[in-house]
Amino acid sequence: MAKKLDPPDPELAAFGRRLRELRYEAGLTQEALAEASTLHRSFIGQVERGIRNVTLRSILKLARGLGREPHELLLPAAE
């Protein structure tokens, strides 16, 4: 996990948009992604909103839950 931040950090928010994009592409709810990645649903929500400075281990768990390669999570979001 990692520290919770308020307000959102622009770079973390950009990661959050990318995560949401990949989650939509995978057809997963936050709850389903949480279960697939062994993380908490509230944590997924906070990462998507850019208020969590997510760690590498959580990034790797999210990639596994999404069925993606880790580096794909650090590409820019399409929109």
Footprint of a copy of itself (CB under 8 A):
2, 9, 11-12, 15, 53-57, 59-60, 69-75
Residue among 17, 6, 1 nearest 74 (CA): 17
Shortest Å, Cβ 8 to a copy of itself: 13
Quick one: 24 or 60, whose CB is closer to a copy of itself?
60
Quick one: 12 or 33, whose CB is closer to a copy of itself?
12
**Rounded Cα–Cα distance for residues 74 and 12 (Å):** 11
Phi, psi angle pair for 2, to nearest 5°: -175, 175
